[in-house]
Structure 1
Amino acid sequence: MNIVAKTKRFADSVAFNLRVHGFADRKYLREVMLPAMAEAEPSNVMLAGTRRYNTGYPKLFDQQTTAVWTLDFDPRAARFGNGHLHRTCDIREIDRVFSGIRFDVVHINGLLGFGIDTDDDIKRMVEVVHRSLVPGGYMMLGWDADATPDPLENETILARFEHKEFGILPARHRVVGMEGHDHVFDWFRAAD
């Protein structure tokens, strides 16, 4: 690839990331959700899905209080992860990759319908996340209403989790009208 093509590709990537950074759901994440999560002072947090537009998310937590682990299946995304706390793997393998670590929160945004697509995928992910949480830990699912079925209609999720608020955050928050699509954030507490 020549220098002009590389420069254009880089510029397009930066423009895309700036556009995503400005979406209402991303603003809610940065300005409301992640600060509320940090306020709870969890010991271990997993942020699943790593891209340029979310590189600052780990910095919203007190690094002395909370280990913020990042994860993505794409090895190229590692440069946007949280340094030595980043792992490259499929979320359906976190119990193997993070053997011995239990999370207070596993934050999964944008994977349903974009890699975790089938009922089997969701079942496997939910089972692994449930095993990876401390008792009473939380799973947050961020999903696009036009790309995936409602998690509240998924028997595997409802068998292992209770749909419940996380601190001041409601159990469900919907961001309406992003380019014609709704993005939904759902909190689930692991059943004992």
Structure 2
Amino acid sequence: MSQHNRQISSDKDATSLTYSIRQTLSNFPIIRQSAELILPSPLKSWLTSKLMSARPDRQFMESYILPQIAAAPKGKCLFVGCQPYTRHYGTWFMSSSVEFWTTDIDPDSAQWGEPHRHYICGIEAIDAYVPAHSMDVVVMNGVFGFGLNDEADKVKALQAIHHILKPQGHLVVGWNGDPPGQNPLNMSIILQLFKHSTRWPFAPHTTLEGTTHIYDFFTAS
């Protein structure tokens, strides 16, 4: 077996093992809670990153969405929400002509944001920090119902995103179908400001096997 094939096999084995660990911890919450209490913070952060990266929705983000954005000839992308498992997302843009920016309302999360290209603010107030019509893409993944909970704040966030996007700019919304009630398509405001985009090489409403996470791809109206 060649070195390249051995590496692919090793990566697949590692992903499979990590996914199995994540499933085990999900099925046994007492074990997961005990691990969170016992493990030192650096190890906990490393384990969380590995477990999250094994999720089908995160694999889709890293294998398809980020590379597709980075492949554009130029532009600016804003990624909403910073965690240990997103800290490496900027590496897709190191040799790209697209500027990668991040934002998070928590000042402590700046350590996982893009160096020198990070805003400390809630996404519903991003238009106070980012110039109007200056972003080509905004990626908001796992924010609805997990930080952005109030209906009024969701409306403000969508209005602020629309304000900073260029005409025909792109919005990627990743959301979880379980528990129900997080579907952004149920909000009239999103249909007023955006329309589903067919300019991506995947379905405008993308569902993934093995997860209830869904991606919707929009273009600013």
Report the residue type matching 1:188 in the other structure: F
Amino acid at match of 1:37: I
Counterpart check, 1:59 vs 2:60: no
Q: Answer 1 or 2: which has greater helix percent.
A: 2
Cα distance in 1 between the residues matched to 2:220 and 2:115: 28
Cross-structure match for 2:207: 174
State the Cα deviation string for residues 76-135 of structure 1 (Å, max 9, x = none): 111111100011110011111123561000100010001111221111111100001001
The answer as to 2:215 corresponding to 1:185 is yes
Amino acid at match of 2:218: F
Q: 1:142-177 CA distances to partner (integer Å, 9 max, x unpaired)?
A: 001114432222100000100113431321111233
Q: How many residues are paired up? A: 184
Alignment of 1:14-29 (within 5 A): 14-29=46-61
1:64 Cα deviation after fit: 5.4
1:3-31 per-position Cα deviation (integer Å, ceiling 9, x unaligned): xx896233222212211111111111111
Which structure has more RCO (C-alpha within 8 Å, separation ≥ 6)?
1
CA-atom RMSD in angstroms: 1.9
Percent identity over the alignment is 28
Task: Give unpaired runs (5+ residues) of structure 2.
Answer: 1-36
Tell me if structure 2 keeps the 8 A contact 1:51–1:77. yes
Per the alignment, do residues 82 and 101 of structure 1 end up closer, same or farther by CA in structure 2, a change over 3 Å counting?
Answer: farther
5+ residue gaps, structure 1, are none
Runs of 4+ aligned residues of structure 1 deviating over 6 Å after TM superposition are none
Task: Give the number of the structure whose alpha-carbon radius of gyration is greater.
Answer: 2
Q: Give the Å deviation of 1:41.
A: 3.1
Higher mean displacement: 109-118 or 5-14:
5-14
Structure with the larger strand share: 1
> Mapping of 1:2-13 within 5 angstroms?
8-13=40-45
TM-score (norm 2): 0.77
